[in-house]
Structure 1
Amino acid sequence: MIPFYDRKRTVAVDEIVRLEGSGNYTNFFLKDGTKMLVSRTLKEYETLLDGQAFVRVHKSCIVNLGYVRKFYVKKEGELELMDGQQVKISRRRAQTFIDRIREFQPAALS
């Protein structure tokens, strides 16, 4: 359940492509192209999604590993999502991402 405007919207976890934090708000990007702004922090959602197919790749971004198309090892920490978006990976979180994507989707590494 995601609080969205004056109601709560049910969103399946596998519909979430990525989450981006902006201060005390989080933007949800869904696979159907919908973007939802929620008044909760990214840290709260990181805790809720822990142990699932999500990994925090930057201080302001969590991605769903199921939507990672490619991970560019030669570029300095960048990945491409199924919707074509490019997402930077911080140096500090790169190894955690690599470990998780190897378990989840080995074909994404290039």
Structure 2
Amino acid sequence: MHTPTISGNLLLLPHNAGIAIIDTATIVRIQAISNYSKLFFSDNKTLVVAKVLKWFEGKLDSHDFLRIHRTHLVNKHFIHQYTHGGSIQLRNGEYLEISKRRKALFLQSL
């Protein structure tokens, strides 16, 4: 099978039905689930792939994606607000907790 690669804003990812060609600008967040990752898109669709979150962290532009927790990588273009309690609200209404360890780096990256 082809190796997943990234070209410009496109990410090629093998999954159970073939190879998905993904525009990284449409990824809202990526959630780690053991040795898999679940991608959440702006059109409310999801995709599960056999890649760990660390792989995505290395491939995606660090200026657009922020690691906020050991289980979440978020596209900062979809962040609606930061709450003083240490969580963020995404444009789709979801709330995600920022780990205490990553809070300072998160605020610096915004």
Q: TM tier, shorter chain?
A: 0.7 to 0.9
Residue in structure 2 matched with residue 37 of structure 1 by the alignment: 48
Residue in structure 1 matched with residue 97 of structure 2 by the alignment: 88
Higher mean C-alpha displacement, 59-68 vs 46-55:
46-55
TM (normalized to structure 2)?
0.86
**Residues matched between the structures, number:** 99
Residue in structure 2 matched with residue 64 of structure 1 by the alignment: 75
Residue in structure 1 matched with residue 63 of structure 2 by the alignment: 52
Determine which of 2, 7, 16 is the counterpart of 1:5: 16
Measure, in 2, the Cα distance between the counterparts of 1:14 and 1:57. Answer: 18
Letter in 2 for 1:100: S
Which structure shows the higher helix fraction? 1
TM (normalized to structure 1)?
0.86
How many Å apart are 1:4 and its aligned residue?
Answer: 2.4
How large is the RMSD of aligned CA atoms in angstroms?
Answer: 1.0
Measure, in 1, the Cα distance between the counterparts of 2:39 and 2:76. Answer: 15
* Identity percentage of aligned residues: 27
Deviation string, structure 1 residues 23-53 (Cα, Å, up to 9, x no partner): 1000000000011110110111111114330
Measure, in 1, the Cα distance between the counterparts of 2:47 and 2:88. Answer: 22
Question: Unpaired runs of 5+ in structure 2?
Answer: 1-11
Question: Unpaired runs of 5+ in structure 1?
Answer: 102-110
Which structure shows the higher strand fraction? 2
